[in-house]
């Protein structure tokens, strides 16, 4: 006999739903989903269990869930929820990931942007602060708390947005800003662009949720932490299955680690005090497949060649040409491992003057030939010319 399960949430997240459905398909469940109108689904007879997210001020959904006699698994991470097993992202780890990303890229000044004082927000900020606080006795961080969505267009929203932006623009740069969700990250980026702030050279931005309709698009694609929503849904379904089999699951929180951080342009830079050097880095990183001469880079940032070379050496500790070479070698490695393209094809794609020159450069920088590198790092490599 199949199980009938209700999936009901205050805010719908398709990837959590997908995780529930993946488990349900393997175990022959009938999953009924209800989100904005809980009444209809809760009246369905013969429900065997529920996976429910109770949101703030979500009184009717809470009442209906508490009246249900069967097993329930909760998804909420806003604060006090139902006395049932709950599954959600390890939000402390989310904050740690954001901080580690900025630190790895050389940032030493920070800000955070959040909108609500929910438990998940506090945990993310605590993880972020603890991580940067462990560096050199602590690093400066400005915390900005919004009272409305960044995108709100009413009078109150505009006032808070203007005030928050003024505080943010007053901090020394380069700086890394951690937004606890992608919507505020997107709104912040739009506001910074309007004020001619270079992203990520002056202010780098990291969001949370890896929203597939927000992060990859826009004028500056957003680096974001993927909370592992599919795994949350799947884990919740696993727990519910055990409860429907009569097993006792204590009413505690089960944390799912975030899937990882997806790097996009909003933070894809190394923090450099010299803005012109940062822009030169950005230009190099944006054109790794093209053979860009130092003169091309200098023209892009509008500096004399020798001035740029001197400033780059001072800021980075190595030459501009070293950066170009290092990045091109990394792109060659990616192609050798991730594709079956011949060395000639890679040389053509990356604008090398000849295959021989690519091979000589690669051997000089890595100590091995491209073919040997491929054999060492790619299983079962095809025969290549």
List, in order of start, the domains of the chain with CATH numbers. 4-89+229-259 (3.40.50.2300), 91-226+262-267 (3.40.50.2300), 275-377 (1.10.10.60)
pLDDT of residue 202: 92
Q: Quick one: pLDDT at residue 79?
A: 60
Pairs from 157-165 (Cβ < 8 Å, separation ≥ 24): 161/187, 161/191, 164/113, 165/191, 165/192, 165/195
pLDDT at 379: 57
pTM: 0.78
Contact 68, 5 (CB under 8 A): no
Neighbour order of strands in the sheet with 260-262: 141-145, 110-114, 175-179, 203-208, 223-226, 260-262
Q: Report pLDDT for 73.
A: 95
pLDDT along the chain (385 residues), means of 10: 87 92 94 70 76 84 85 81 89 96 91 87 95 73 78 57 85 93 92 92 95 92 95 96 94 92 90 85 78 82 91 88 87 88 92 92 94 79 39
Cα–Cα nearest to 200, from 125, 105, 292? 105
Question: Strand 4-9 vs strand 30-34: parallel, antiparallel, or unpaired?
Answer: parallel
**DSSP string for residues in 17-68:** HHHHHHHHHHHT-EEEEESS-HHHHHT-SS--EEEEEPPTT-HHHHHHHHT-
């Amino acid at each position: 006999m199949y199980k009938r399960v209700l999936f009901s949430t205050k805010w719908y997240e398709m990837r959590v739903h997908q995780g529930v459905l993946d488990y349900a398909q393997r175990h022959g469940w009938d999953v009924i989903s209800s989100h904005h109108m809980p009444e209809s689904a809760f009246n369905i007879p013969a429900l065997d269990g529920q996976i429910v997210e109770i949101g703030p001020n979500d009184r009717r959904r809470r009442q209906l869930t508490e009246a249900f006699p069967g097993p329930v698994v909760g998804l909420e991470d806003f604060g006090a929820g139902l006395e049932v097993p709950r599954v959600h992202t390890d939000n402390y780890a989310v904050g740690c990931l954001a901080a580690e990303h900025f630190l790895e890229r050389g940032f030493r000044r920070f800000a955070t942007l959040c909108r609500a004082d929910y438990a998940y927000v506090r945990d993310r900020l605590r993880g972020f602060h603890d991580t940067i606080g462990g560096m050199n006795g602590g690093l400066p961080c400005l915390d900005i708390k919004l009272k409305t969505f960044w995108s709100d267009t009413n009078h109150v929203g505009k006032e808070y947005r203007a005030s928050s932006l003024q505080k943010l623009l007053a901090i020394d740069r380069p700086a890394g800003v951690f937004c606890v969700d992608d919507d505020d990250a997107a709104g912040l980026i739009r506001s910074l662009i309007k004020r001619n702030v270079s992203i990520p050279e002056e202010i780098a931005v990291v969001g949370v949720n890896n929203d597939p309709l927000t992060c990859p698009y826009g004028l500056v694609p957003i680096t974001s932490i993927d909370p592992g929503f599919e795994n949350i849904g799947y884990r919740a379904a696993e727990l519910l299955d055990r409860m429907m089999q009569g097993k006792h699951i204590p009413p505690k929180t089960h944390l799912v680690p975030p899937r990882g951080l997806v790097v996009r342009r909003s933070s894809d830079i190394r923090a450099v005090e010299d803005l012109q050097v940062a822009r030169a880095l950005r230009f190099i990183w944006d054109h790794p497949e093209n053979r860009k001469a130092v003169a091309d880079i200098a023209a892009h940032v509008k500096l004399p060649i020798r001035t740029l070379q001197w400033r780059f050496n001072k800021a980075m500790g190595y030459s501009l040409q070293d950066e170009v070479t290092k990045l091109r070698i990394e792109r060659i490695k990616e192609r050798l491992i991730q594709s079956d393209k011949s060395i000639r094809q890679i040389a053509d794609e990356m604008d090398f003057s000849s295959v021989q020159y690519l091979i000589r450069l690669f051997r000089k920088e890595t100590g091995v030939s491209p073919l040997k590198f491929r054999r060492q790092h790619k299983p079962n490599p095809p025969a290549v010319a």
